[in-house]
Chains A and B, each alone.
Chain A
Amino acid sequence: MDDVQELYQEMIIDHSRSPRNSREIPDAGRSAEGYNPLCGDRVRVFVEMDGDIVRDIAFQGSGCAISTASASLMTEAVKGMDTTAASELIGRFHDLVTGESRGGGGDIGKLRVFGGVRNFPARVKCAVLAWHALRRALAGDVGTVSTE
């Protein structure tokens, strides 16, 4: 499998074409936007909490296959997690796509398909865009977080 095929795995292309949880949650308690001014990609993440648990999560936005699939798979992964687990997952995902290891370890499940991103440094920002927004939403921040 060459770099390009490793990057654009079937699951990534599937989720980019048919993103899951791509909708607004009108009365979401929390939401935050991720924006990459270099490419204009924009994603808003909505989070509805039930105590410390992510009861519902969705996103809206337009972007490349990597950023869209990342947002889609993120919503699937995070739904039902408590904030501690979600924060850990954000860190592990970041490590995965940058190729860094901060010793967090732990299974990242389906999100492994983003492992190919590490060979494309210019695309790391696409992969982490929705995750930046998620971190802000979980922290209760409002507004737009920029990748720059």
Chain B
Amino acid sequence: MTRAAGPDIERLRADFPGLERQIYGKPLVYLDNAATAQKPRVVIDAVRRYYEEDCSNVHRGVHVLSQRATERYEASRAAARRLINAAHNEEIVFVRGVTEAVNLVAQTYGRTQLGDGDEVLITAMEHHSNIVPWQILCEQTGAMLRVVPIDDSGEMIFSEFERLLGSRTRFVSIAHASNALGTVNPIDRVVSVAHAQGVPVFVDGAQGAPHRPVDVQALDCDFYAFSGHKLYGPTGVGVLYGKLGLLEAMPPYQSGGEMIESVSFGKTTYARPPHKFEAGTPNIAGVIGLGAAIDYVTTIGLESVVLHERDLLDYGTRALRQIDAVRLIGTARDKTGILSFAIDGVHPHDAGTILDREGIAVRTGHHCAQPVMDRFGVPATTRASFGIYTTREEIDALAAGIRKVIEVFARHG
């Protein structure tokens, strides 16, 4: 057991009221963190405190409540900047989540910079949210979508990336880590190769930021986005980071209040980033809750999270490999805490149903990554995904649950 460097899990679990539950009379084993994470009490309290004590709109009023709400809202922006080490608070745009971030960049940067015959390069492991917005952009502009293939372990084939990065490539959009496979992509190399050709890079950090330290300046990526709810924060809030020069040059996404500098019927001028991209009253409670979540995760320390999740991944990989009927889907060298697998002769939905009755929450399905399923020749997988509070005992419960699944189906064999 080499967990000395990891966080104190028992103490940490007590911070999450959602974990203390019985499901069908059995203790909840929550292994669906890649879908959404449970929330620590500090996040729930921050949201409640805003509604109970500081409820008012931001950037509007001179009254004290509005000032307090604005301060807390902007403090979250600073927390997000520190989390990913952006250079300026103005580079942090609050959005609903990564999905909105991709759509925003596609419809602002993409619409103005791409044209007929240009190419957008993505990988075969992308979530639908990093595929469909680019397909729509391609329909609108006449650009083409190119896809970097992945190998049998679930790693992108880097030589193919270099080959596909051609003279018509105008944009690269890539997951920091795959939600279906856990594969962590070599973002630093991707960025440096793309930049050598003058091509900007968007990083979908939905599965990255909650599990790895991120330094956007060191990575030098042009955009980076993450969702709050996978980082132990509220749903409906996320962050789009963009280099300030790019954000300044991009047209607005949505329009209305907050995003303007001055409005007349003759001419309207827009606010500077980030407000240019935050039209309308934002998800104030969500942003404030996200700030609390970032503070919480930062206090634990992402280096510590990495150690803990790596231990779980190694332990879980060994545990599942001991079960003959289990085939792991996604065995990249560098992975986040995701175990995606198939059980011989058992459809994932049947596995998910039986595991659920054991109190074990996993995701079954295509994980909004149908091209990945096609690549591995499965209609769906069962996916266990870990968080900061996951324990080895929970992985033991998963392994026992899988054995029960096999037993149910072997009963009549």
Which of A's residues lie within 8 Å of B, judged by CB?
2-5, 7-8, 10, 13-14, 17, 38-41, 62-66, 68, 120, 122-123, 126
Contacts and interface: CB of A to CB of B under 8 A. Distances in A.
B347 interface: yes
Contacts of B353: 4, 7, 120, 122-123
B412 A40 contact: no
B354 interface: yes
Leading 8 A-B pairs by shortest Cβ distance: A64-B347, A64-B349, A10-B412, A13-B412, A65-B350, A64-B350, A4-B357, A8-B408
A122 B370 CA distance: 21
Which of B346, B347, B350, B366 has the most CB atoms of chain A within a 10 A radius of its CB?
Answer: B350
Nearest to A17: B345
Interface string B381-413: 000000000000000000000000000110111
Contacts of A2: 357
B365 A38 contact: yes
Contacts of A17: 345
A14 B412 contact: yes
Contacts of A123: 349, 353
Contacts of A14: 412
A40 B409 contact: no
B17 to A, nearest CB: 25
B379 interface: yes
B361 interface: no
Contacts of B349: 39, 41, 64, 66, 123, 126
Interface of B: 345-350, 353-354, 357, 364-366, 370, 373, 379-380, 408-409, 411-413
A7 B346 CA distance: 14
Given A10-B412, A39-B365, A62 B379 contact: yes
Given A3-B357, A62-B379, A126-B349, A13 B409 contact: yes
A91 B354 CA distance: 27
A12 to B, nearest CB: 9
A2 B357 CA distance: 10
A5 B379 CA distance: 25
Nearest to B365: A39
13 contacts: A2-B357, A8-B350, A14-B412, A38-B365, A39-B349, A39-B364, A39-B366, A40-B373, A63-B347, A63-B379, A65-B347, A66-B350, A123-B353
Given A8-B409, A40-B370, 17 more contacts: A3-B357, A4-B353, A8-B350, A8-B354, A10-B411, A10-B412, A13-B411, A13-B412, A13-B413, A40-B366, A40-B373, A63-B347, A64-B347, A64-B348, A64-B349, A65-B347, A123-B349
Contacts of B357: 2-4
Contacts of B408: 4-5, 8
Contacts of B346: 65
A40 B350 contact: no
Contact of A40 (B380, B411, B413): B380
Contacts of B370: 40
Contacts of B373: 40
